[in-house]
């Protein structure tokens, strides 16, 4: 009997035919055996989670920041540009006034 494998046989509760005790379903009638619940070890049932970093600050939209900076630069440039144009007009007016006064 050396090298022979023996299989334990059981009767199917549905049809009564002999089947292997390792079978999950009867090959004759298709009856499915209920699987025995496997007990989980304490290590398997609990799961540990490590939190490395929690971001509590609200996300800042970079697009909005860039738009605000560009808008501020445009406004400042416009103010200085208008001021420069007004100064040049004042200089030209003063020169014209001086030249007019010299002629008459």
Name the CA dihedral angle for 20, 26, 32, 37, rounded to a multiple of 10 degrees.
0
Structure confidence by residue, pLDDT tens digits, 8-38? 888 998 899 998 888 888 999 989 887 665 5
The secondary structure of residue 26, as a DSSP letter, is -
| Alpha-carbon span 7 to 104, nearest angstrom | 132
Q: For the chain, give every domain's residue range.
A: 8-35, 61-104
Q: Rounded CA gap, 53 and 64, in Å?
A: 26
Average pLDDT value over all residues in the chain: 81
Looking at residue 36, its pLDDT comes to: 60
- Binning pLDDT at 50, 70 and 90, where does residue 52 land? confident
Whether pTM > 0.85 for this model: the answer is no
């Amino acid at each position: 009997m050396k090298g022979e494998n023996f299989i334990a046989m059981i009767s199917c509760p549905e049809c009564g035919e002999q089947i292997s005790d390792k079978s999950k379903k009867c090959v004759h009638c298709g009856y499915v055996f209920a699987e025995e619940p496997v007990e989980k070890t304490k290590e398997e049932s609990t799961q540990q989670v490590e939190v490395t970093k929690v971001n509590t600050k609200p996300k800042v939209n970079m697009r909005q920041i860039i738009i605000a900076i560009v808008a501020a630069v445009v406004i400042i440039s416009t103010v200085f540009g208008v001021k420069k144009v007004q100064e040049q007009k004042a200089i030209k007016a003063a020169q014209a006034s001086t030249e007019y006064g010299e002629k008459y």
